[in-house]
Chain A
C-alpha cells in the first residue's frame, strides 16, 4: 500500500523515482520529508519520476502542489516525469496539468533545467 522512493543525481538534477501510492498518511509524508531534505542540502533542481505511481489521492495531489511551490519559493525548479494515465487525468481534471512542467523523456527533462 505504501510508496517507495529512491534518489539519484543526473547532471546536477536530483531525480526522485517514486512508486506505489501517494496518499494521505502514506506517500504524502514521505514525499514532503524527501523534498525538505533535498532543499536543506541545497539540491533545488528536482525531477519527480512518477512512472510507477499507480495511485494518487487529493492529499497526494496537494503534496505535489506544495512540493512545487516550496521548491519554487526557494529559487529551485520541480518538474514531473512520466505520468501514468490516471495521474495525468487527475492533473487535467484539477487544472494542474498546465501548472506543472510535465516531461515524458528523462534526458529532455534533465536538459530543460535552468542552471545557475
Chain B
C-alpha cells in the first residue's frame, strides 16, 4: 500500500496526525481504526467511540467510493486532531465534489427501502458538527465531536 504519513505532536493537549492514502478499502479501515484509537484516547465513553469511528468510516467510504471512485491515481487525505475541546477529523478526496444539499433524505418514505444513501445522514447523526468544503477538485468533510459532553447530534 502506497502511503505517506506525517505526524505533528505538539504536546498532550493538541496532537494532529495526517495521512495521505490510496483510494482503497484498506485506507478506509486504517482511517476508521485511527479515529477509534483517537476517540478512546480522548476518554469518551464506548458508545461515543463507536459513533465517532463509524462516522469517520462513512466519510472515508464516501471519499474512496463516491469521491475518487477507487481511482488508483487519486488519494484521500485524512487528518485527526484533538484540540483539547474537540476531536476534529478532516477527510478529503479528489473527486467531482459533493453538494450535500442535493442528497435525498434517507428517512423519506419513498427512500426508506433504497439500498444506499445513508452515509452522510449517519455522519450527521453521530457527530456534533459536520462541514462540507468544495476543493476543486474534491470535497473535504470536517467532522467535529465536542469533548466534555455526552450527547449526540441525534
B63 to chain A, nearest CB (A): 12
Number of interface residues of B (CB under 8 A): 23
Q: Which of A26, A58, A93 contacts B119 (CB 8 A)?
A: A58
Separation of A23 and B116 alpha carbons in the complex (Å): 12
* A61 contact set on B, CB distance < 8 A: 118
Whole-angstrom CA separation of A57 from B28 in the bound complex: 12
Q: Do B118 and A58 touch (CB < 8 A)?
A: yes
Number of A residues, CB within 8 Å of B? 22
Given A24-B61, A57-B58, A94-B107, is A63 in contact with B118 using a C-beta cutoff of 8 Å? no
Residues of A contacting B29 in the complex (Cβ-Cβ under 8 angstroms) = 1
**Which residue of chain A lies nearest to B111 when distances are taken between CB atoms in the complex?**
A95
User: Hey, which chain A residues are within 8 Å of B115, CB to CB?
Assistant: 62-63, 65-66, 69
Chain B residue numbers with a CB within 8 Å of A99 are 112-113
24 contacts between A and B (CB under 8 A): A1-B29, A24-B28, A24-B65, A57-B54, A57-B58, A57-B61, A58-B119, A58-B122, A59-B61, A61-B118, A62-B114, A62-B117, A62-B118, A63-B115, A65-B112, A65-B113, A65-B115, A69-B113, A90-B122, A93-B125, A94-B122, A96-B112, A99-B112, A99-B113
Interface residues of A (CB under 8 A from B): 1, 23-26, 57-59, 61-63, 65-66, 68-69, 86, 90, 93-96, 99
* B positions within 8 Å CB-CB of A: 25, 28-29, 50, 54, 57-58, 61, 65, 106-107, 112-119, 121-122, 125, 154
